[in-house]
Amino acid sequence: MMVGKLSLAKQTLAKPWLSARLSVGGLLGAGAEALAPWCQPVCACLRLAPWRQRRSRIWLVAAPERLRRSSWLVCFRPFPCCRAAVTSYPGAAKIQSQGGTLGLLLLPLVPLLVLLSACGTRVVKAPFPVQTLADAGLQPLPAARLAACATALRLPPELARPADPSNFGQRQARDAFGRDVPNRPQLIVLHETVISAADTVRYFATPHPRDDDQASYHQLIDRAGQRLRIVPDLGRAFGAGMAAFGDFTVRIRPASVGSLNNVALHLSLETPPDGRGDGDAHSGYTSEQYRVAAGQVLLWQAAWGIPMSRVTTHQAVDRSHSRRDPRSFRWDSFDTAWREAASRCGLTALDRGRATI
Ligand SMILES: [Zn+2]
């Protein structure tokens, strides 16, 4: 984390008004083909003939097959996706001739149908495929064995230091196109705090209404090796916006740059006092931090079936070209501590010694 220039982008739910519009559209019946998913219910009513008042840009539309010709609707800004269907309807000429009079009578319906008209500005075809990681082939450890492992590792108890709700979210099950996206923990991303642990906890506990200020980890390990719990594992901590693991990333919204927050568990190490600035290196982390970090990583791997090849750093997955943490992190020190922990728990198979699965 670089608190001075946070841009740990989060990706939010589809807009609430979208589902509201879907409900309204559903009343009209579905059936239009080859249209954007949320446009289909609305456009079903556009098997119709339009009449357009050029000045007001109001379209009068009816659904002869479904709603009878007398059931006219008025829509602002007709949807581009529906125009072909509208103009090709064989009864168009006849209904156009009636439109002038009916249009005036039906103008009071305009406020209701404004809800529908917004659909036309939101027609978006999915511009990217949903990406997934290969099945790691690791079964999560049963709870009883996980508890036994935690005891064997002699890790300090977690201390609750919860983030303000504005600084984390929920792992998203679907993207803006209604497609299932990966949303279970599959990656572990290591960070450093840059500032002190106390200041970091204070920052996360502070409400941040602006997206660019929102940030969090799941857990933070201070210089003494204490485990500070910031966000539950099942929550979506905002630790690695604009990030990818190889080519893999998760996009929720059409304009998303891609993030790993939907599948990441974020673990941060408190930076030593000589690492507060933006220097290239500092004096590193304590042996207790390595021991506890290795134990925590092992527990997460066992709990979620994550291979060592998916334990990485913020620097390695960052695509914003602005993150270099954790600086001065020694993988050899971590690996020594990890092997000791894995041996205690009998979980050495979580490191297959491969670059990838
Ligand atoms: Zn970071």
CB 239 within 8 A of CB 216: yes
Distance 173 CA to ligand 1 centre (A): 24
- In the CATH hierarchy, which fold is given to the domain comprising 128-350? Lysozyme-like (3.40.80)
pLDDT band at 138 (very low <50, low <70, confident <90, very high): very high
| 336, burial (CB in 10 Å: exposed 0-12, middle 13-18, buried 19+) | middle
User: What average pLDDT does range 319-336 have in this prediction?
Assistant: 97
Higher pLDDT, 122 or 199: 199
Distance 192 CA to ligand 1 centre (A): 6
Distance 336 CA to ligand 1 centre (A): 23
* For residue 354, pLDDT beyond 80: yes
Distance 276 CA to ligand 1 centre (A): 14
How many Cα neighbours within 13 Å face the side chain of 179? 17
* For residue 37, pLDDT beyond 90: no
Distance 253 CA to ligand 1 centre (A): 23
The percentage of the chain sitting over the pLDDT mark of 70, rounded to a whole number, equals: 66
* Closest of 263, 299, 288, 78 to residue 186, by C-alpha: 263
Higher pLDDT, 34 or 181: 181
Three state DSSP letters for 65-102 = HHHCCCCEEEEECCCHHHHHHHHHCCCHHHHHHHHHHH
Higher pLDDT, 137 or 1: 137
User: What average pLDDT does range 194-208 have in this prediction?
Assistant: 98
Quickly list H helices, 164-311: 197-205, 287-304
The phi and psi torsions of 110 (rounded to 5 degrees) equal: -55, -50
Distance 354 CA to ligand 1 centre (A): 25
Cβ atoms within 10 Å of 130's Cβ, excluding its own: 14
Say what the pLDDT of residue 342 is.
Answer: 98
State pTM to two decimals.
0.69
User: What average pLDDT does range 230-234 have in this prediction?
Assistant: 98
d(CA 274, CA 252): 38
* For residue 112, pLDDT beyond 50: yes
Distance 322 CA to ligand 1 centre (A): 10
pLDDT band at 109 (very low <50, low <70, confident <90, very high): confident
Three state DSSP letters for 220-235 = EECCCCCEEECCCCCE
Distance 137 CA to ligand 1 centre (A): 28
pLDDT band at 325 (very low <50, low <70, confident <90, very high): very high
* Closest of 86, 46, 96, 80 to residue 66, by C-alpha: 46
CA angle 10, 11, 13 (to 5 degrees): 135
Distance 215 CA to ligand 1 centre (A): 10
Least confident piece of the model among 54-68, 215-229, 288-302: 54-68
pLDDT band at 164 (very low <50, low <70, confident <90, very high): very high
Domain boundaries of the chain, sorted by first residue: 16-122, 128-350
* For residue 179, pLDDT beyond 50: yes
Distance 238 CA to ligand 1 centre (A): 10
Distance 332 CA to ligand 1 centre (A): 20
Distance 325 CA to ligand 1 centre (A): 5
How would you classify the pairing of strands 264-269 and 187-192?
parallel
Distance 2 CA to ligand 1 centre (A): 7
Distance 153 CA to ligand 1 centre (A): 26
Distance 189 CA to ligand 1 centre (A): 8
Contacts of 108 (CB under 8 A, 6+ apart): none
At which residue do the structure tokens 């579905």 appear?
30
The residue ranges of DSSP E strands in the chain, in sequence order, are 51-53, 58-62, 72-76, 158-160, 168-170, 187-192, 219-221, 227-229, 235-237, 264-269, 311-313
* For residue 241, pLDDT beyond 60: yes
User: What average pLDDT does range 313-332 have in this prediction?
Assistant: 97
Distance 254 CA to ligand 1 centre (A): 25
Distance 239 CA to ligand 1 centre (A): 6
User: What average pLDDT does range 290-303 have in this prediction?
Assistant: 98
What phi-psi label fits residue 227: left (phi over 0), alpha (psi between -120 and 50 degrees) or beta? beta
Q: What are 313's two structure tokens? A: 């750093």
d(CA 61, CA 87): 11
* For residue 195, pLDDT beyond 70: yes
At which residue do the structure tokens 């602006």 appear?
210
Distance 266 CA to ligand 1 centre (A): 8
> Residue 164 CA to chain centroid, in angstroms?
18
d(CA 202, CA 267): 17
Distance 268 CA to ligand 1 centre (A): 7
Higher pLDDT, 29 or 213: 213
Least confident piece of the model among 120-129, 148-157, 190-199: 120-129
Distance 126 CA to ligand 1 centre (A): 30
Say what the pLDDT of residue 108 is.
Answer: 72
Distance 80 CA to ligand 1 centre (A): 43
pLDDT band at 104 (very low <50, low <70, confident <90, very high): low
d(CA 333, CA 113): 64
Distance 197 CA to ligand 1 centre (A): 14
User: What average pLDDT does range 206-224 have in this prediction?
Assistant: 96
Say what the pLDDT of residue 105 is.
Answer: 66
Higher pLDDT, 71 or 44: 44
Three state DSSP letters for 285-320 = CCHHHHHHHHHHHHHHHHHHCCCHHHEEEHHHHECC
Distance 175 CA to ligand 1 centre (A): 25
DSSP 173: S
Say what the pLDDT of residue 20 is.
Answer: 29
Distance 272 CA to ligand 1 centre (A): 15
User: What average pLDDT does range 277-302 have in this prediction?
Assistant: 97
Mean pLDDT taken over the chain: 77
* For residue 322, pLDDT beyond 50: yes
Distance 301 CA to ligand 1 centre (A): 20
User: What average pLDDT does range 300-311 have in this prediction?
Assistant: 97
Distance 231 CA to ligand 1 centre (A): 15
Say what the pLDDT of residue 214 is.
Answer: 96
* For residue 294, pLDDT beyond 90: yes
Distance 1 CA to ligand 1 centre (A): 4
The percentage of the chain sitting over the pLDDT mark of 90, rounded to a whole number, equals: 61
